[in-house]
Amino acid sequence: MALRFEVLGRFNRARAAQLTLPHFVCQTPLFMPVGTQGTIKGLATNQLEDIGCQIILGNTYHLALRPTSELIDELGGLHKFMNWPRALLTDSGGFQMVSLLHLADITEKGVTFQSPVDGKPMLLTPEESIQIQNRIGADIIMALDDVVKTTITGPRIEEAMYRTLRWIDRCIAAHKRPHDQNLFGIVQGGLDPVLRDICVRGLVDRNLPGYAIGGLAGGEDKDSFWRVVAQCTAALPEDKPRYVMGVGYPLDIVVCSALGADMYDCVYPTRTARFGTALVPEGVLKLKNNAMADDTRPIDSSCACMVCKNYSRAYIHSLVSKDAMGSQLLSYHNLYFMMQLSRNLHSSIVQGKFPEFVCNFLQKMFPKGDVPEWVCNAMEVAEIDISS
């Protein structure tokens, strides 16, 4: 095991921890930006350091296609290749197969898909996914799982969950760098509490360095979403990190953290920036709107980022959709916002002020008091009184 996870503070189920990885000592809860091709679109690695980014996520599928894992390995691993001194996490490549490719066929052997390069059938097995990730060299690597959309029901969900458990053993056997890289298993089972429970217990029996909750953020209703997170976090070990995959809305991160999750990733903050939208405490600010054309205020007067200190809404409005600089500035701000949210979650839990933080966060986002029912239900389970 190449990590240490030390809980520094708690509030009921929420926890703030120090996660020590081979390349960086991280503070949780934390958000990980997605750098698909070994880059966060529009930002240099030193800017990511400036805003306090701790872990970047890389997509195994995209990196294996281009520039190839062999070349990355030859050039000293992904950290060196992209000049990123802090931690990296790579996904298994399975999700991209299923989401990006038509005709992906999952069998016991692995995922068969058409090569986007020449159209020939290719097979990604659990063994090959781990070999590729061993070459890339991230601090955290993910097991290949059988991915099913949460909106699907029936026997396919059960089949995928049991296959995910069989594949974890093949991933563990194939993993050649357990002293440098941490293999996380992924809890599957759709929205079925019985299947989720079987999967959690099966993975915990394998005593992995950390655990992810997969198969969410795929269109299921929010009430189902938080209940699965609550069930899994309650059953996963206290002394290991818990990672909810694909979650990037600030509200979702606050709720999941209250329920005991530690790590999150999503393309949302940078993707929404490219569409001209900024994240602010009240929710979102659409910079393309004509009302922004002569607005001299910063995006967010409470934000200390370089963008909010130096540029007006009017300036960014004039750039979005016309100039790459617009989406770069918004990406910078949005990721700063997410890093600040992570820092605030961590410090409020450590200082014993987490309920106040949650109430303050919800008050800004829902000034009329119209907090969604699913959030109220989740906070009740997290034993946080948001009624005041």
Q: Given the structure tokens 């999503």, which residue do they identify?
A: 266
Closest C-alpha to 247, from 227, 278, 269: 269
Could you give the C-alpha distances from 370 to 57, 157, 334, 362, in angstroms and in order?
A: 34, 35, 25, 9
Residues paired with 106 in a beta bridge: 111
Please check if 256 is assigned to a binding site. Answer: no
Cis peptide preceding 29, ω within 30 of 0? yes
Task: Measure CA 159 to chain center.
Answer: 25
Tokens representing residue 196 in the block: 């989720």
The Cα–Cα gap between 266 and 254 comes to 14
Catalytic residue annotation: 91, 265
Q: Which helix (H) or strand (E) holds 258?
A: helix 250-258
Beta-bridged to residue 32, according to DSSP, are 265
Q: Which of 206, 214, 253 is nearest to 232 (CA)?
A: 214
- Residue 92 is labelled as binding a ligand: yes
CA dist 336 and 141 (Å) reads 25
* Residue 333 in marked binding region: yes
Strands (E), the chain: 4-11, 14-20, 25-28, 30-33, 55-58, 87-90, 105-106, 111-114, 121-124, 140-142, 182-187, 210-213, 242-244, 263-266, 277-280, 283-286
145 known member of a binding site: yes
Is 221 flagged in the annotation as binding? no
Residue 76 is assigned to a ligand binding site: no
Residue 232 annotated in ligand binding: no
Find out whether 93 is annotated in a ligand binding site: yes
Binding site feature residues: 91-95, 145, 188, 215, 303, 305, 308, 333
Binding site feature residues for Zn(2+): 303, 305, 308, 333
Binding site feature residues for substrate: 91-95, 145, 188, 215
